[in-house]
Amino acid sequence: MRVSLPGLYIALGVVLAGLIHVVAVLTLPMLAPRDAHARLAALGPANTMIQLPAAAPGHQVMPMMAPDVRYAVCRYDLSNGPVRLRAEIANELWLVAFYTPLGENYYAVIGADMKQPEIDLIIATKDQTVAEVGVDAPEAFDNVVVVNSPVVEGIALIRAPLAGPSRGAEAERALKATYCGPHKGSSPDPSGP
C-alpha cells in the first residue's frame, strides 16, 4: 500500500500540531507572569492574613471566586522559620487549603472534619523538626496540627461559604480575627502567636 505524498504531509502536520499543543498547554502555567502567587504578592507582605474583598462581576482578585463565599489568604514564607495559622471556624462549610506557588494543593481540611471551633496549624518544611516548631510542650499544643510544606513559599487559603445571605458580616468578622504569622515556639499561650 502506497501513501501519497500530500497525505503524508497532512498526517505529519496533524501530529506536529498535536505535539505543539500539548507542549504549549503544559508550559503555560510556568510562563504566566500573573499567577496566583504573583497576584497575592501585590496585595500585601508574606506571613500576613489578607481578607479578600467580596467577589462582584468584573471585580475579582482571583478567577472563579464565588459571590457567596468570603476568602482570606496568607502567602507564607518559611525561610525564617515556621508559620502559624489560627482561625475560628464559624461553621462546618469552611475550608482551609494549602497550595504551592504553582497552584498544586497539598493539604486541606474542612470545618465538618474538625471536632473543635478553632483551628491551629503550624506550617513547616520537612527540614524543620517538630522540636523546632515548639510542639513538644503537650499542654500548650494539644490541638496543634503540623502541616509539612513541600515548598518554602506557598499559599494558605480560607474559604468561608455563607450559610445564608445575612451571614456575610459574621463570616467577615471571623476571617478578620484569623492569624497567620511567624511562629514563636516559646509562647505557651494558645491565644498568642
pLDDT tens for 15-37 read: 999 999 999 988 877 776 667 77
Range of the domain at 10: 5-31
- 15 and 94 assigned to the same domain: no
Determine, yes or no, domain membership for 192. no
Q: Using one digit for the tens of pLDDT, what is the confidence trace for 71-108? A: 999 999 999 889 999 998 877 888 999 999 888 999 99
State how far the Cα of 33 lies from the Cα of 101, in Å rounded to an integer.
12
The mean pLDDT value for 121-149 works out to 71
Together in a domain, 123 and 146: yes
189: in domain: no
Strand order in the sheet with 144-149: 144-149, 118-125, 83-88, 179-182
Q: Are residues 108 and 177 in the same domain?
A: yes
The whole-angstrom distance between residue 92's C-alpha and the CA centroid of its chain comes to 18
Residues 9 and 61 in one domain: no
User: Given this model, what pLDDT does residue 71 score?
Assistant: 92
Q: Three-state DSSP class for 38?
A: helix
Has residue 190 been placed in a domain? no
* Cβ–Cβ < 8 Å for 193, 181: yes
User: Same domain for 131 and 49?
Assistant: yes
Mean pLDDT of 174-184: 87
Kindly report the pTM of this predicted structure.
0.72
Same domain flag for 27 and 93: no
Distance CA 123, CA 186 (A): 16
Q: Are residues 96 and 11 in the same domain?
A: no
Beta-carbon-side half-sphere exposure of residue 71 (alpha carbons within 13 Å)? 20
Check whether residue 119 and residue 51 sit in a common domain. Answer: yes
Give the pLDDT band of residue 117 (cuts 50, 70, 90).
confident
pLDDT of residue 193: 46
Q: What number of residues does the chain have?
A: 193
The sign of the CA dihedral 95, 98, 104, 109 is negative
Q: How many domains does the chain have?
A: 2
The pLDDT > 70 percentage for the chain reads 84
pLDDT in tens, 47-77: 999 999 888 888 888 878 888 899 999 999 9
- Give the integer Cα–Cα distance in Å for 8 and 140: 72
Residue 50 domain-assigned?
Answer: yes
- The CATH number of whichever domain residue 58 belongs to comes to 2.60.40.1610
**Is residue 53 located within the same domain as residue 114?**
yes
Mark whether 23 and 71 lie in a shared domain.
Answer: no
94 located within any domain: yes
